[in-house]
Amino acid sequence: MKSVSEETLPRDSDGFPVFDLALVGVGDDGHIGSLYPNRGEIDVIDGPWIVPAFMKDPPSISLTLPVMQRAKCTVISAAGQSVKYPNGKASAMRLAIADDEVTPQTFPASSLRDHAVWILDAPNGSEMDIELSTVEKAVADA
């Protein structure tokens, strides 16, 4: 990525790339991309743009947190449910968005709290203490 020109991939004043859009996945444990809780990759703040992650086989790679945070628009979506998880990722979404007790080290998704647009369906937003607007209710009921 570093070989891509700044005309194609703009950089900010710190030299980090600035993507127009970042679509970021989040897990029940709060991992974002492949940045998992209580691992050193989440602590990279001024180093590489991409880090290896050895949590699964085969290993993966992930954008670092500073890159995710610098996107012009970061979107995290949680939708769907199952028999095993009738509220989907509701607990994880509450921790990521509203729980001030978690830290990026223990729950990486919380580090995007103020940097992302969060899109949740009704089950995944069920633990949030918010009042939905009429439009949001119509979308949730659809």
CATH code (residue 72): 3.40.50.1360
Instruction: Output the pLDDT for position 135.
Output: 46
In a domain, 55, yes or no: yes
| pLDDT tens, residue by residue, 45-99 | 887 899 988 888 888 899 999 999 999 999 998 888 888 888 889 999 999 999 9
Contacts 24+ apart (CB under 8 A), 53-58: 55/31
Which of 87, 119, 113 is closest to 101 using CA atoms? Answer: 113
Task: Give the structural domain span for 97.
Answer: 21-141
Question: Do the domain assignments include residue 133?
Answer: yes
5 in a domain, yes or no? Answer: no
Domain assignment present for residue 7? The answer is no
Residue 4 lies in a domain: no
> Whole-model pTM?
0.81
Q: Which residues pair with 117 in a beta bridge?
A: 75
Domain count, the chain: 1
Count of residues in the chain: 142
Whether residue 17 is preceded by a cis peptide bond, meaning omega within 30 degrees of 0, is: no
